[in-house]
Chains A and B, each alone.
Chain A
């Protein structure tokens, strides 16, 4: 190839690079609210009307890089728990002490993984639930049931708020497994801001109309 031809080939390559750098950046065109996603999944075989009572954890598990850092009750955590109580009450569920054999238990976790990579929701589900000992719910020696239904897969690079509804009533008949029947996950910018906590919980319930009972 002649020198001039090579030069123009390089110039064309540069032109391609210039063109492709002209793309509009989708992420910079999102507000913090628009950046957040709310994912809910549920066990389609579960009849939520069969549950009447529930109990809620008194603190939130803080998980960082797949390690339990502790259980805290910050202002944000309180906002989440209060929003959950309000939404569950609005759907007909009655809050009881965990010693009163509630039908449902609710786990709440703040997950912050700082690595970059692809993380599937099944892994997410399977991994963090176990930071709550089944003993907490009055089922020492029990394990957690791994659901076989599928979930969306997303690239995860930041933290998220995870909420899980556990079928405590059915645990003895589920082969000593506590089965999660509903999960919710919020991710995105500002997901751990106290001012956004209520809105996130409302979003979870708004997209889960089946989550109700008649009390």
Chain B
């Protein structure tokens, strides 16, 4: 619990300083988009091997200068897999069931993005984020669920390109690949690490 509070507190501090300290001086940039994420790691892939096609991501960033933006990012991925009916052994018996694992990750990250070029319509960039990850995990035997929610640390690394479509409004398309390092420890799942691809838009808001 102390660790969760530390991560949450650190993230909140960064977010608050971002909003209160700089928002009045330069234009904020919003990015919204669609994610596809694929589980990485044996324990996660045993639970869910399928990629998540129900993913989204949103960011609000503030330009410190022409190359460096900092801000806040929120992501969502829904990992789901249904296994055919099978008999599972218990201590003194057996359960025959169709087993479903349903895992939702919602990382909330303080983010920094570095653009390699100051001008131009094509702007490759790299980014990193750190914060916390809100996880909902449900395992269903047939229609009977067992669910837990918990908060864990989260770190991400991105590499992508922004394609500027409107120079005046600084708006365009955003394409990137990312890796999410998401520690977790529940029901044999050691982490929820995943890599993903993202396509979206970005624009300035003020």
- The residue of chain B having its C-beta at the shortest distance from the C-beta of A5 within the complex is B19
Please report the number of residue pairs spanning A and B whose Cβ atoms sit closer than 8 angstroms: 131
Given contact pairs A15-B58, A19-B106, A149 touches B92 in the complex (Cβ within 8 A): yes
Q: Say yes or no: is B155 at the interface (Cβ < 8 Å to chain A).
A: no
A26→B92 contact, CB < 8 A: no
Number of interface residues of B (CB under 8 A): 43
Q: Enumerate 29 A-B pairs (CB-CB under 8 Å) in ascending A order.
A: A1-B19, A5-B19, A5-B23, A16-B108, A19-B75, A20-B76, A20-B136, A22-B56, A23-B102, A23-B136, A26-B82, A26-B102, A26-B138, A29-B100, A30-B98, A30-B100, A30-B142, A34-B82, A37-B142, A39-B95, A150-B91, A151-B90, A151-B93, A154-B144, A155-B145, A188-B142, A203-B96, A206-B87, A208-B94
**From residue 21 to 59 of chain A, which have CB atoms closer than 8 A to chain B?**
22-24, 26-27, 29-30, 34-44
Set A4, A24, A155: member contacting B102, Cβ < 8 A: A24
List, in ascending order, chain A residues with CB within 8 A of B142's CB: 30, 34-37, 187-188
Q: Say yes or no: is A156 at the interface (Cβ < 8 Å to chain B).
A: yes
Q: Say yes or no: is B80 at the interface (Cβ < 8 Å to chain A).
A: yes
- 4 more contacts with CB within 8 A, not counting A15-B74, A20-B76, A36-B143, are A24-B102, A30-B82, A154-B141, A154-B146
Set A8, A12, A26, A38: member contacting B96, Cβ < 8 A: A38
B54→A4 contact, CB < 8 A: no
Residues in B lying within 8 Å of A, measured CB to CB: 16, 19-20, 23-24, 28, 54, 56, 58, 60, 72, 74-76, 78, 80, 82, 85, 87, 90-98, 100, 102, 104, 106, 108, 136, 138, 140-146, 206
- The residue of chain B having its C-beta at the shortest distance from the C-beta of A200 within the complex is B96
B93→A43 contact, CB < 8 A: no
- The residue of chain B having its C-beta at the shortest distance from the C-beta of A158 within the complex is B143
A29→B23 contact, CB < 8 A: no
Set B58, B90, B141, B143: member contacting A41, Cβ < 8 A: B90
CA distance A96 to B24 in the complex (A): 88
List, in ascending order, chain B residues with CB within 8 A of A16's CB: 74, 76, 106, 108
List, in ascending order, chain B residues with CB within 8 A of A18's CB: 56
Set B56, B80, B85, B92: member contacting A24, Cβ < 8 A: B80
A38→B97 contact, CB < 8 A: yes
CA distance A207 to B87 in the complex (A): 7
List, in ascending order, chain B residues with CB within 8 A of A39's CB: 93-96
- The residue of chain A having its C-beta at the shortest distance from the C-beta of B139 within the complex is A26
List, in ascending order, chain A residues with CB within 8 A of B98's CB: 30, 34-35
